[in-house]
A and B are shown apart, each in its own frame.
Chain A
Amino acid sequence: MPSDEDEMLREMGLRSVDDLFADIPSAVRIPKLDIPDGLPEDQVVARVTSMLRANRTVVDMPTFLGGGLYDHFVPASVRAVVSRSEFYTSYTPYQPEISQGLLQALWEYQSLICELTGMDAANTSMYDGSTALGEAARMAHRIHGGRIFLVPRGLRHNRRAVLANYILGAGLEVREVDYDRESGMLDLAKLKTAMSPDVCGVYVENPNFFGRFEEQLEEIRDMTTGVLVVGVNPIAQAVVRPPGDFGADIVVGEGQPLGTQMNFGGPLLGIFACRQQHIRKMPGRVIGLTRDAKGHRAFCMTLQTREQHIRREKAMSNICTNESLLAVAAAAYMAVLGSNGLRRVAAENIRRAKELAAAIDKIAGFEAPLFPGAHFNEFVVRRKKGYAAVHRALLEKGIHGGLPLTRQLPELSDAALFATTGRHTPEAVGRLLAALEAFR
């Protein structure tokens, strides 16, 4: 039987597929790809699986890292939802009549994010929390016009670095506002000095980089003449007054805690929400509620004139492919847990962090949390005699300590950021404490 290829070629009156490449000039042709030939599926699976075995997972090794990314339990039902091939093998829902499932899931994601943050509108995602911050700075500039954007000096350096690259075209200048050395919260006196009519926006995180809840949002709002951008951990929002209540104009955050595993840092979910009055200045894709020709409820992409495929060089952002599937996971996660479930997870994180900090603080030579007061699920641990040796010793014992802060903030070079979640077993915590005891 002739193959598909032969039949198609014959029908087109061609002898070989090569004829279809006759338009590629010989000067740019290559004889073949300079990579090995293909392998059978079983061999690829065996090879990749074996390579990856060189990783030590947080299951093999009690790990106390957070810093923007957390090891929360993901209910199987969340995975089941995003494993539906109708979701994961589809693309941007350009054709709403055959995409209602995804459109509704994304609209529900937007709605749930709005409930959590007290905002009116959310987009379906930015690439991650750091690009969401970058886009927020640009949007603050579009709204206000000022050329200065203030951020906390206590900001995870990868967020700071990404922000630096996102504001280039807008001609913005980022200035840092120091944190209060006692409380770990934003230094309001310094914020006051930094404020000027040219400040288009102020960014503040709650909880902040040190895991400390930022309790001065009201004061910060009052001092801010520009746009207030609040960075959140979405799970923590279940137990705090939402930023919308404090007058935030834009809320951003890393959405990975909502139903996505850590995956070595990607894919991630950039949360981006704002007030209704600003929706036409918002970047990214949004889903709206409407009707079909028969008057039935329907969803579709909307406000597309803000986007690159219509507005081109004047678009609010260049984003096209985003992180939709993670938004679906987040919607499923929030829906599966419900408000009570989310509150339970948040409370559990707070309790565990408090207990772990207290236990570490008991060990002579260690101070935890370095900043007193309410924390979410991470906190700074300081060892005056130096932290680096502790970090190495823990690793040798098969334990991964917190994030050393040397590279982040020089004044905290003897400290590390320890995180915990509901996933740490008593045994894991016990091993950490025993290992730290050795440094007494």
Chain B
Amino acid sequence: MRLGLVVDLDSCVGCHGCATACKQWNTSGTIGPLSDKAPYGRNPNGAWLNRIRTYEVDDSPNSKTVHMPMSCMHCDDAACVTVCPTGASYKRSEDGIVLVDQDKCMGCNLCSWACPYGARELDPQEGTMKKCTLCVDRIYDEKLPEDERKPACVMTCPTKSRVFGDFDDPNSEVSKLVRERAGKQLLPELGYNPVNTYLPPRNKPVVEQYQPASLKDTVKGWVNKVISR
């Protein structure tokens, strides 16, 4: 199994709901707490496992606002795991999930340097590395109803822009989406082979722009209207 997420950049509205749900679930999950420093101060700072950034792509009149949520991509070739000197970071062979053993991490930051996607953040209080767990404590929980055995971010997304599944299964929803919508990996040139895949926005017709007419044309059009009556 290669578990991961597909994120649809066409429908994501940048509401930050997934990031908030992620923080809420995981702060009391297996790698919790996710501490904050000065949460009500002037410069709040804390560990989040999911961040949403907003870009403007292309130039007017073709420009488009794109919201890009990013969490750990659970890379096939995860250098964050190989650089870790303590063995705290590891990749599970059964499903490909990359995790940090909080009892072993010494907080050297090296894995966050090795990660191209900014997926790892040091907990300011605990001094250990935090990252997306793919909600490993939800997806296998047999006490949850079957359709809730999904990551918290996927459950909460109001536009269903996040899809969870097995990329090794060619008939899974994620594999079909990647095939049909030409899913893309970020920074493919670095060779990490990220599992999470992004569906590019669909091309939409260019909005016609209002073209102001010259004074002469405006008067002419107005006169023509009056005369034709």
Chains A and B belong together in one complex: no
